[in-house]
Amino acid sequence: MRKFEFRGLEFHSSRMWQWAQIEKALDFMTKMNLNALIFHQSDLVDKLVRPTKYFSTDLMWKRWPVRNHVLMNNVHYIQKVVRESKERGINFYPEVKEIFYFEGILELFPELRNSDGKICATHPFWWEFVEEKTRELLELVPDIAGMIMSAGSRESMVSISTNECECDRCKNYDPIDWYINLLNAMHRPLSEKGKTLAVRDFAYSADQQSYIVKAATKVSEDIVISLKNTPHDYYPTFPHNPEIGNVGNHPQWVEFDTWGQFFGLGFFPVSVVEDMQYRMKHCHDKNVSGIYLRTDWENLTEASTFNSFNLLNLISGAKLSNHVDIELDQIYQTWADFGLLSAHRSGSVSQDPISPTSQDAYIKLREFMKASWSVMEKAVYVRGHVYHEDCMFPDTVKMAFDMMVEIHSRDDWDPAASKLVEPTDENLEIIFKEKAEAVREVKALPSILQVNTLGLPQNLVDEIIDMLDLYQLYVRGYEHTARSCFLVKKATITKDELDIKKAKESIPLLIEYREEVLKRLEGTHYPHYLYWLIDEKRLHELIKDTKSLLQELEE
């Protein structure tokens, strides 16, 4: 039986600070034979340590007494999480982005800023500081199994990848040396205690990705390289992450999203079961020793796989990590037996899973979830490119194209892919057909699911029917916004009268759609993330932007 040694579940939102959520997850992990619990918060270490070397007790009482007690509380809470996990045979790993710091450090060491106020990313103090933080964490919470760290991200407070300091040292600093210094500062104290350091390849470009792996090799080959299953982020339409299997002698872990940051936020559920098996088989063939499964996202509260049909994907990840060649029907059956959870109820609202009583329910649920992925792929992606902003409609034409060809560009890993979304007549015909197919397919979902035949209580049936109605509204929004964005973009390039005319004709339909959204959502009381997904204000901004761009063409 082919399996992975390291099998993790990741919390990435504030849910990690709610014991009820942790206890539920630990029960799930025990049942599904997962052995690593990961708390992913960029500044998690800074929520636990001062560090005391710089912030004495006297100084804390004098300047930051509230922080002092918050740190004490947080340490006791994390100690409980680690203790309870360990009793179940589950290891605990904090996951952070470095370099992070508490703002008071700049008062104590003003030389970290240069004359124009920018932080100097290459100041030698940072290596001392990171090592001190790591050592103090190990003193306070000695039973952690290790740490996972992102260094190439623009989401940390100090990084060579976003460094704007122009001092002589920064101008001449080799990025690989920067990563080596950072990794050494963490690896030294961890290795002394027999703990694991895993460094993530979360980078926005291929060159930053390669820097991190090269630096890790120079520090120690026992550093784990943790890779997302697709390059840059969790996009199911992207190719395999090319770094998988290409990290030298380093152990490898690979990360998967089970919730849906880029495929519906769980409110509109989809199966990525088939994709996960395809990619995990690839990982196993490439000597990957561990996988872990993200269940939520730091920037959106109250939503996770634990209040969504997308619990299916978490069950899938757990099952596949223990047996990568498992028959997928067993996964769908396990999900139906475990029970369904409704995204109509916010994550902090307690709900018990409900198992359908119909014997063939899992088959209908399977076909529905697979068909829903087909809908989602055609709706929120454009020919495999990320068109949406974390499942929200674009609010400007520029943002739509920035998402596809700049922020989430495929070109580094799929050369010239951006040509597929250039606003040419040939491309537009394909793109508009794709969106029309998404609308046609989403309308077919109720007949595939046959929710009234599953053997579910009426209140859950009603919520599923409501979700399917909202799903149609959501998908039609992508048809309207894509038509306007691509036609307006084409008109701004060609300045052709016929192109301008076609672009103008799309705007009344977008306005009409926004009015439909307003009417549909008026007086409703859904969890807040539904209003994130179908945000009429973003539609309003897009309408304003398209009108403005076309008006400029006529001036």
Mean pLDDT of 379-387: 97
> Is 506:487 a contact under the CB 8 Å cutoff?
yes
Q: Report the predicted TM-score, pTM, of the whole model to 2 decimal places.
A: 0.96
Residue 246: inside a domain: no
Residue 528: inside a domain: yes
Task: Give the span between the Cα atoms of 267 and 260, in whole angstroms.
Answer: 9
- Final residue belonging to a domain, choices 222, 246, 268: 222
**Averaged confidence pLDDT in the chain:** 96
- Confidence at 385, pLDDT banded by 50, 70, 90: very high
- Confidence at 232, pLDDT banded by 50, 70, 90: confident
Residue 526: inside a domain: yes
Mean pLDDT of 540-555: 94
For position 307, what pLDDT does the model report?
Answer: 96
Please write the tens of the pLDDT for every residue from 120-162: 999 999 999 999 999 999 999 999 999 999 986 778 999 988 8
Residue 14: inside a domain: no
Please write the tens of the pLDDT for every residue from 406-452: 999 999 888 999 999 999 999 999 999 999 999 999 999 999 999 99
Domain around 379: 367-554
Residue 153: inside a domain: yes
Encode 16-51: b = buried (16+ Cβ within 10 Å), e = exposed: bbeeebbeebbebbeebebbbbbbbbbebbbbbbbb
446 preceded by a cis bond (ω within 30 of 0): no
- Final residue belonging to a domain, choices 180, 201, 222: 222
Tokens of 333: 């059956």
DSSP 232-286: SS--TTSPPPTTTT-STTS-EEEEEESS-TTTTTTTS----HHHHHHHHHHHHHT
Residue 152 sits in a domain whose CATH number is 3.20.20.80
DSSP secondary structure letter of residue 358: S
- Confidence at 200, pLDDT banded by 50, 70, 90: very high
- Final residue belonging to a domain, choices 222, 240, 260: 222
Residue 116, pLDDT > 60, answer yes
For position 229, what pLDDT does the model report?
Answer: 95
> Is 29:37 a contact under the CB 8 Å cutoff?
yes
Query: Which range, of 247-261, 320-334, 361-375, 410-424, averages the lowest pLDDT?
Result: 410-424
DSSP 27-65: HHHHHHT--EEEEE-TTTGGGT---TTTS-HHHHHHH-H
SS3 call for 120: coil
Mean pLDDT of 204-212: 65
Q: Please tell me the total count of domains within the chain.
A: 2
Mean pLDDT of 475-486: 98
For position 519, what pLDDT does the model report?
Answer: 98
> Is 254:283 a contact under the CB 8 Å cutoff?
yes
pLDDT over 90 for what percent of the chain? 92
Beta pairing class for 252-257 and 224-228: parallel
Task: Give the span between the Cα atoms of 146 and 94, in whole angstroms.
Answer: 7
Residue 468: inside a domain: yes
Residue 27: inside a domain: no
For position 10, what pLDDT does the model report?
Answer: 98
Residue 260: inside a domain: no
For position 193, what pLDDT does the model report?
Answer: 98
> Is 534:517 a contact under the CB 8 Å cutoff?
yes
- Confidence at 119, pLDDT banded by 50, 70, 90: very high
For position 208, what pLDDT does the model report?
Answer: 58
Task: Give the span between the Cα atoms of 248 and 232, in whole angstroms.
Answer: 20
Inter-residue long-range contacts of 77-83, CB under 8 Å, 24+ positions, other chains counted: 77/17, 77/19, 78/39, 78/48, 78/141, 79/140, 79/141, 80/19, 81/22, 81/37, 81/39, 82/141, 82/143, 82/144, 83/143
